[in-house]
Amino acid sequence: MARFWLNSQQVVRFTPTLPLSTGGEWRKRLVLPFLSLFLALVFTFPALAQAPKIDPRTDPNRPTDYSYIVGRYDIKVSAEPTDVEVERHIVVRVEIFGEGPKTDEPRGKDLRLFPEAWDKGESPDFYPPVLLEESVDRPKKTWTFLYRLTPKHVGVESIHGIRLVYYDPSVPDDNKFLREPVDQIKITVKPRPDAPPPITIDIDAVPNSFRSTLPVMLTRPAAPFELTWVYWLIALIMPPISCVIAADVYCRMAPDAMRDAALYRMEAAERAIAKLRAGECVWHVVCAYLHERFGFSVVDPAPSEIHAFLKRAGFSLEACAEARSLFHTCDAIRFTHGKSPESIKLADDAVRLIQTLEADACAQR
């Protein structure tokens, strides 16, 4: 244990430093707090007087074994018989005396007399108790409940754990939920006698359908069918793959208009190169290619227009420059009536341009 030692110099002395000089200041300083306290009491008193009444049925602090009874009650329990065989029934008679508001009188469905484990069937000693009968004698202010209790084994020696938990609003204590325990009841559980003699069937009572036989085919069972993972894999994978292949084949065999147009666009390069190789006019062929492949729709375009179009479409600057150069050359040939010395290698340049444009990532989109 740690000890702290203080010498006299370390002791802090508390000295009141209230201004005691003048009595008038004292009064002024005390009036305000007392006045505030007085007003607070005046205003909160009605609220305290009308404090919300606690409903024991919904009170979050109510015990789990609360039997939903309000008032002053007492309980008396007896059992008959107390000498039974295993799994034979004992009738437990519960009498509750007392009085309280009529709305919160004892009711069989609300009572929580037995331990929770018994009601849930989790008791090792007893099967869940069953309410057989309930009655009330109002002049005597007595409620009677009969329960059937069944011991599970010969080791059960008593009925214990029964209690009545009720709510008494007249109790001055904060906790108004009162617990009324019940003394244990001694019982004796004996083993059951031997099983009765075996039951025999009266042949006359057997339906006639038992007296007929079916023709029996002497067949030995085939090897049982084992559903291995291979079957599952085949069954899961084959149908979608087959459908995808069939859909692809169908689309190839019977293409629709959109696919036709796409194919036509895709084949524009091949057609253009074939025409160039055949010696057709380079300018016309390349213009037609740009129109079919990329939708270039300017009639009689200038090289700068082609350059701008390709640049806008996202082609590389080299490709754009190559196209402008080609069309410059084409214009030169067109306007000099084909006598330009560059006309010889123009078709090759056009083929190279088309291949460049096709290879560009922009054309792949």
Partner 1 sequence: MRTAIAIGVGLVLLGPAYGQTQQSDDDVLAAAESAFRQGVENKPRLLVARKHFSVAVDAYRELHRRGYRSAALYRNLGNAGVLADRWPEAIWAFHVGLRLDPNDSVMQEHLAFARGKVLYPLAGQGRPEADAWPAWLRRPPLLGVFCMLVAVYVLACVAVTASFLWRTTALLVLTGLTGLTLGALSIAWWHVSSLAEIDRQTPLVVLIENADFYRGNGASYPRHPILAQLPRGLEVRQLHRRGSWLQVRLTTGETGWVHRDQALVVLP
Provide the binding-site residues for partner 1, judged by CB under 8 A: 86-88, 127, 150, 152-155, 191-192, 194-196, 198-201, 203-204, 206-207, 209-221, 225, 227, 231, 235-236, 239-240, 242-244, 246-247, 250-251
CB of 95 to partner 1, least distance (A): 28
Strand pairing partners for 91?
80, 148
Question: Which stretches within 50-188 are classed as H helix?
Answer: 116-119
Q: Which residues contact 159 (CB under 8 A, 6 or more apart)?
A: 79, 90, 92, 126, 149, 184, 185, 187
Residue number with CB closer to partner 1 (243 or 263): 243
- Going 338 to 340 to 345 to 348, the CA torsion angle's sign is negative
Residue number with CB closer to partner 1 (46 or 198): 198
CB of 94 to partner 1, least distance (A): 22
Question: Which stretches within the chain are classed as H helix?
Answer: 23-49, 116-119, 229-253, 257-266, 268-277, 282-294, 303-313, 317-335, 346-359, 361-364
CB of 356 to partner 1, least distance (A): 37
Residue number with CB closer to partner 1 (39 or 261): 261
- Alpha-carbon distances, residue 122 vs 29, 46, 125, 129 (angstroms): 69, 51, 9, 12
CB of 80 to partner 1, least distance (A): 19
Structural element, H or E, at residue 190: strand 188-190
Q: How many Å apart are CA 266 and CA 293, to the nearest integer?
A: 7
CB of 270 to partner 1, least distance (A): 28
Residue number with CB closer to partner 1 (55 or 85): 85
Dihedral (Cα; 191, 194, 196, 200), 10-degree rounding: 140
- Going 21 to 23 to 29 to 34, the CA torsion angle's sign is positive
**Are the C-beta atoms of residues 146 and 131 closer than 8 Å to each other?**
yes
Dihedral (Cα; 39, 40, 41, 42), 10-degree rounding: 50
- CA count, 13 A, side-chain hemisphere, 64: 5
CB of 112 to partner 1, least distance (A): 23
**Are the C-beta atoms of residues 148 and 91 closer than 8 Å to each other?**
yes
- Structure-token match 């919300």, residue found: 52
Residue number with CB closer to partner 1 (19 or 191): 191
CB of 219 to partner 1, least distance (A): 6
Residue number with CB closer to partner 1 (6 or 236): 236
Residue number with CB closer to partner 1 (139 or 215): 215
CB of 253 to partner 1, least distance (A): 12
CB of 147 to partner 1, least distance (A): 16
Q: Report angle CA 263, 266, 268 to the nearest 5 degrees.
A: 110
Residue number with CB closer to partner 1 (30 or 246): 246
Residue number with CB closer to partner 1 (40 or 246): 246
